Chain A
Amino acid sequence: MLSQQPTTLQNGPRPANTHVQLADDSDDEQALASTLVQALQSNDDDLDDEFLDEEVADPNLLAAQALSLQNTQDNLQARLQAAAQPLDFSAPLEVRFASYDNYCSLFHFILNSQGPVELELPTYYWAWDVIDEFIYQFNSFCIYRNRVARKGHSEEEIQSLRDNPQTWGCYSVLNVLYSLIQRSQMNDQLAAIKRGEDPAQYAGEYGSRPLYRMLGYFSIIGLLRVHCLLGDFTLALQTLDDIELSKKAVFARVMAAHFTTYYYVGFSYMMLRRYADAIKSFSHILIYVSRTKNFHKQNAQFDSITKKSDQMYALLAMCVALSPTRLDDTIHSTMREKYGDQFAKLQRGGPESLPVFEELFLAACPKFISPIPPDWDNSAANVEPSQHHLQVFMADVKNSIVLGPTIKSYLKLYTTVDLGKLAAFLDVDKEELRSQLLVFKQRSRQTRWVEGGLIEGENVNTSDVDFALKGDLIQVSEAKVGRKLVEWYLKNLIRTYQ
């Protein structure tokens, strides 16, 4: 039974066939669960010898441990632990500055010591935690700074922010991430894996050590995130060129990393108007989460996973409204549970749907940032970056959604229809409808990933309803899905053997 692997999940969002096929194979869940356990176990096996395997969540334990060890080494271990500790959301400015300095000195030590640093990683997911926390703090610092500039809190805060324009600057953050990638020669290693060669021969002095290898690897995911936060969605996707998106990928071993990757990949696709690819990314990870729910319940990150899931369901609802697609049954019903009313409005389209798009976008988008310090002297000029991205996104949405869904529902009723007649039904001007039909056509053609880097793709028709204009005559065609017999046939054949 288990020999049959859940192919779609194995290959990530890549296979050209639809994700829907996953739905009815009951073996999948078992197989998936077992691979997950294997992944975790093999991880532990690999790492037990090299790493301390305990999860040091308890600060007391940590302090005790730090005391029991000696001189610089334990000092360092404590700093490593601290680097992965979440910063309180309401932390005051001094703490944020101090935390930045800590990261700088830690990364400086790791990157610029003479030769590679001999270090034991506190836990195997430490590298992810530290990159994750580093970017989170950068992100929240930029938001904080922007808010101070707009709301004008205390003069003191403004002054100290003015005096330290370099703190948490985007150049230093990118510098850290790129340096970690280069030090570990991660891109060469990943390219080797893609070619089917042994990455070790490209790893070099640094990259062969777990500390550098893991930091380098997760820095790539970190870059994806930073580019996305800055509104550069093409570069975000190009960053992952060397990473094979699959369940076997290294990031899949750390649930939070797996999850984050797909969220940002899906979001970037959505902003590139590649809704079919976005839907595939979101569905992939949401199916994965729903099937492995029981494992994550014990996970400390369960809350944040739940929150991010909700956001992805919201994004998924928008993408499906913009590019109607049949979803996996489980995902579809969960989406209806969470966003039933909103989804119905989105699907209906028209001007009434626009506020719903805005609401869901703001609830589910990343916390966008502006890379530069705000204009301290003119607080009106400091706009929240998410408002800007929303405005650009909504201009795209308006085009497809105002008449699109209605036109489609009418087209479905006919094989041929006169332009004037349809215009009368829709209560719009004939020429306006002609224009709208052209837009409808353009929007039904999307770039969709087939192979190669994530940004690559082919132009395909993603709509099940298509049409052609001959003068004023609209000819309508439909893409039908034939009956699927093989599954049924196989199931019954197997049954005869039993």
Chain B
Amino acid sequence: MRPEYIANILAGLERYNPETTSIFQDYVQQQCESRTYDCYANLALLKLYQFNPHLTKDETITNILVKALTVFPAPDFSLCLHLLPPNILLPTTSAADTLAEAVQKLHTLSILLESGQYKEFWATLDSDDLYADLVADCVGFEELIRVRIAMATAQAAREVDRKVLEGWINMEGEDFEGFVREVCQWTIEDGDRVIIPVNNDNEAKTTVTRENVKFDQFSRLVKRAYEQPA
């Protein structure tokens, strides 16, 4: 839930006041620690940075982006990118431009998640210490991502090969079984098939949409019937 003081700022013109920057910054920190997420507040902060570049704090920007990764496939990561300086995705020329480098690294992660390349996502995350630094502030980052990948899986499948899922969520052995049973509440059969309960999305039922007839459509007809001389 969004705290009241944040809701008040968002509802009024205070959201443009550079002095609220620090309030939003603390709020981002709080989201990182408490595993919560508030997209609108974070976008408002990025907008303040957009208008007042001298107030920009690189670390807060990357934390916002990391939090946005944890809600994929929602478009939040892209929405944040749209508010960053236009040159942020340009190939960096100077070593000094650490923000651009960090943002581009996170963009790579986002693209991997969005395109379903989960194994590559974990490999990339492990490939560079910079990634570890970037996600360090976000408590439970790996688990949040795992849950999202599990949700994507449950959306499409009722049964999935254990090896495949192990690769996707980057877990093996007992840890894997624990996650699947406790967090996802799925079952494992014969040791190598993960069974996912039926939900709205993974059933693939053929439907026929029938037309919806409203009485209003007959109003002309009824009127005509009245007007007709008996």
Contact = CB atoms under 8 A, between A and B. Distances in A.
Interface stretch (A112-120, A123-131, A294-302, A389-397): A389-397
Interface in B196-218: 201-213, 217-218
A230 B50 contact: yes
Contact of A395 (B16, B39, B111, B207): B111
Contacts of B105: none
B221 A493 contact: yes
A484 B86 contact: no
A447 to B, nearest CB: 9
Contacts of B193: 471
B134 interface: no
B213 A486 contact: yes
Contacts of B51: 170-171, 371-372
A366 interface: no
A253 to B, nearest CB: 27
B206 A480 contact: yes
B143 interface: no
A392 B81 contact: yes
Interface in A337-396: 370-372, 380-385, 387-389, 391-393, 395-396
B157 A470 contact: yes
Interface residues of A, number: 68
Nearest to B228: A497
A204 to B, nearest CB: 18
A480 B220 contact: no
B1 interface: no
B212 A17 contact: yes
B35 interface: no
A174 B47 CA distance: 13
B222 to A, nearest CB: 11
A395 B107 contact: yes
A438 B87 contact: no
A470 B154 CA distance: 11
A494 B223 CA distance: 11
Interface residues of B, number: 65
A170 B111 CA distance: 32
A396 B155 contact: no
A439 B115 contact: yes
Contacts of B220: 3-4, 490, 494
B40 A482 contact: no
B89 A391 contact: yes
Residue picked from A273, A387, A398, A441, most chain B C-beta under 10 Å: A441
Contacts, number: 166
Given A170-B51, A232-B82, A494-B224, A438 B152 contact: yes
A320 interface: no
A485 interface: yes
A426 B16 CA distance: 51
A57 B218 CA distance: 49
B211 A485 contact: yes
Nearest to B207: A479
Interface stretch (B57-65, B72-80, B123-131): B72-80
B83 interface: yes
A434 interface: yes
A272 B79 contact: yes
B204 A439 contact: no
Contacts of A371: 50-51
Interface stretch (A35-43, A77-85, A86-94, A461-469): A461-469
A486 B87 contact: no
B114 to A, nearest CB: 5
Interface in B11-31: 13, 16
Residue picked from B156, B158, B205, B208, most chain A C-beta under 10 Å: B156
Nearest to A179: B13
B128 to A, nearest CB: 20
B116 A234 contact: no
Contacts of A170: 51
Interface in B83-97: 83, 85-90, 93
12 contacts: A4-B219, A234-B79, A388-B82, A388-B89, A392-B82, A396-B114, A435-B117, A438-B152, A470-B158, A477-B205, A486-B217, A497-B225
Instruction: Give 8 closest A-B pairs by Cβ, nearest first.
Output: A435-B116, A388-B86, A468-B204, A469-B157, A231-B82, A477-B204, A383-B86, A441-B156
Given A4-B219, A396-B78, 8 more contacts: A3-B220, A230-B47, A232-B83, A234-B40, A372-B51, A439-B115, A468-B202, A490-B221
